[in-house]
Amino acid sequence: MISSILTAYREPRTVGVAIKALLEQDWPEAYEILVVCPDEETARVVQIFTDCYPQVKRLVDQGQGKPSALNLAFSQVRGRICVFTDGDVVIQEGAISALLAPFADPRCGAVTGRPVSASPRTSMLGYWSHLLTDAGAHSMRSHRARQLQYLDCSGYLYAARSELLSPLPPETLADDAFISQLIWQQGYGIAYAPEARVAVRYPTTYRDWLLQKVRSSTGAAQTPQPLRTDNKKYVRPPEYMRSLKREALAGFRSALTYPQTSRERWWTWCLFLARIHLWLCVWAELHLKHRSYQDIWQRVETTK
């Protein structure tokens, strides 16, 4: 069996589309869809699906954050593989079969899908979303996957072997990065399935863009690491995929070749400045502010 975990919070307008996209996938074996949501407005939409589809089940969490929601789901999953996704994205046709295919290799512990932007390219923030998903994340994951290097899974769509998972600490900012580290440090590989596409709507204001990126980038660089060296499952040290230095070395050239118009070239240079601003904020969060999970994890309204 395959277990799909979909987390949602105050997303009644999008969660139905997200669940429908999962139900329409070509699943290679029996599956269940566990929808974890604390609020009643989202739950009312989920109830429509639980009444009609026995594969769909709602889990009621206490609204204490995504780590708590995922830990609740971990206690209920029955599948040998867990597929993770969100209530505000749309998994594309054929994505699940592509995402699960690499698990035929017993050395594969996790697989990440490919986010694609559903935002229009005609605005600066929309253009940034296309550049960062295509010339940024897709290009970097493709290169690192060919080299069998460490990959951060995308929280929008990824999968992992259930037996390798363990509860998340309550202060975890980026569950995808934490679980990726957890899998990697146990000696398993992380594969990339670019055909496993998931459409994502990205922020439309700079404030929301910065909120989202600071949260995910701080989480990717967060310490302590998932495993201690005295843990019997630990076989190799942690690695990182994202940093300002890595972006400068790997992403600068591909970013400059991505724009198609003079306006997009200007937006690209604006993005370089924004990324510097982002990493300064990340450094401040890690070394100066030491804010709690609740303070950093703020809802990004323009993606809903």
Residue 127 burial class via C-beta count within 10 angstroms: exposed 0-12, middle 13-18, buried 19 and up: buried
How far the first Cα of the chain sits from its last, in Å, is: 31
Structure-block tokens of residue 154: 């995308």
pLDDT tens across 50-105, in order? 999 999 999 999 888 899 999 999 999 999 999 999 999 999 999 999 999 999 99
- Nearest CA to 150 out of 190, 107, 183 is that of 190
Gap between the Cα atoms of 216 and 234, Å rounded: 24
Bridge partners of residue 81, in order along the sequence:
2, 161
Closest CA to 174 of 136, 214, 143, 219: 219
Query: Which residue in the block uniquely carries the two structure tokens 């949260």?
Result: 215
The angle subtended at Cα 205 by Cα 199 and Cα 209, nearest 5°, is: 65
pLDDT digits (tens, 9 = 90+) for 140-182: 999 999 999 999 999 999 999 999 999 998 888 889 989 999 9
Model confidence, pTM: 0.90
Rounded-to-integer distance, Cα 112 and Cα 139, Å? 14
